[in-house]
């Protein structure tokens, strides 16, 4: 979901990820999944949805993420990203065609070039969206907040990615972990991801969000959004500021 969703930010119209064993095992036995011989036929069909062995591409790109530190956005585009140990980039060091855009982003986000992203104070945390509020995401966030409490200066909420995820999370008691830590526990839906149904921040608020877009005004007029993982968002809610969990544990 995350990879295909973000393909559009790279200029692509379609993003495909070939089904593998992890996908079929996740689907096995779930509601609406085929059973018996129909299951075997379905898996065989899904496994055919991949590139031909002799396919030729304009470009092959291999990315090694084993040493990649947690990332967070600093600007108003998903591409405006930096590692949690990094600093806000200086537009002067960017290609001339990008400098004006980066300056607009800095002005909107009220940040200065060269300042560390870690330590930036926040007002709100939102853990939700179709791409980053799956059961595994909620489990990761719950592990971070268990036995702790949201900072007094922060309002934090969790909205499961689907009704099924909500039921599964509640069956595991995850909702109690979040509620005991001072989070709000919401019904499944888009919520603050798109700022719908009145669920948005206030002008001037700085929000850590696990959603997939951080455009200016996306979560409300004048709201400054930093995109991050559920674990990073959870840690920020407890600390009241952006923190690098790898450096605090």
Predicted confidence (pLDDT) per residue in 48-105, tens digit: 999 999 999 998 889 898 889 999 999 999 999 999 999 999 999 999 999 999 999 9
Beta strands per DSSP E along the chain: 71-73, 81-83, 124-127, 155-158, 184-185, 206-209, 224-227
**Given this model, what pLDDT does residue 134 score?**
95
Whether 2 has a pLDDT exceeding 90, the answer reads no
Q: What is the mean pLDDT of the chain?
A: 94
The pTM (predicted TM-score) of the whole model is 0.90
**Given this model, what pLDDT does residue 127 score?**
98
DSSP helix/strand/coil, 71: strand
pLDDT band at 247 (very low <50, low <70, confident <90, very high): low
**How far is the C-alpha of 43 from the C-alpha of 23, rounded, in Å?**
10
pLDDT band at 195 (very low <50, low <70, confident <90, very high): confident
Q: Select the CATH number that applies to the domain covering 66-249 from these four: 3.40.50.300, 3.30.428.10, 3.30.499.10, 3.90.550.10.
A: 3.30.499.10
The structural domains of the chain, with segments of one domain joined by +, span 2-46, 66-249
**Given this model, what pLDDT does residue 248 score?**
53
**Given this model, what pLDDT does residue 3 score?**
84
Whether 46 has a pLDDT exceeding 80, the answer reads yes
Query: Rg of the Cα trace of the chain?
Result: 20
- Neighbouring-strand partners of residue 157: 126, 184
């Amino acid at each position: 979901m995350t990879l295909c969703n973000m393909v559009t930010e790279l200029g692509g119209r379609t993003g495909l990820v070939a089904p593998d064993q992890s996908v079929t095992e996740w689907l096995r036995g779930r509601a609406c999944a085929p059973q018996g011989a129909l299951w075997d036929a379905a898996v065989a069909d899904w496994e055919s949805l991949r590139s031909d062995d002799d396919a030729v591409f304009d470009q092959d790109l291999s990315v090694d993420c084993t040493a990649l530190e947690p990332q967070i956005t600093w600007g108003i585009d998903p591409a405006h990203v930096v590692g949690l140990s990094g600093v806000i980039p200086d537009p002067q060091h960017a290609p001339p065609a990008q400098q004006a855009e980066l300056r607009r982003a800095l002005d909107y986000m009220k940040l200065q070039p060269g300042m560390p992203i870690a330590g930036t104070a926040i007002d709100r945390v939102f853990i939700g969206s179709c791409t980053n509020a799956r059961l595994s995401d909620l489990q990761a966030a719950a592990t971070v907040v268990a036995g702790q409490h949201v900072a007094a200066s922060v309002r934090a909420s969790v909205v499961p990615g689907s009704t099924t995820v909500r039921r599964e999370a509640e069956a595991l008691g995850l909702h109690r972990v979040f509620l005991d830590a001072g989070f709000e526990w919401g019904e499944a839906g888009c919520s603050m991801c798109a700022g719908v149904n009145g669920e948005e921040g206030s002008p001037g608020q700085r929000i850590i969000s696990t959603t997939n877009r951080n455009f200016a005004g996306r979560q409300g007029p004048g709201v400054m959004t930093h995109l991050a993982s559920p674990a990073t968002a959870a840690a920020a809610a407890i600390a009241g500021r952006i923190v690098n969990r790898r450096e605090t544990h």
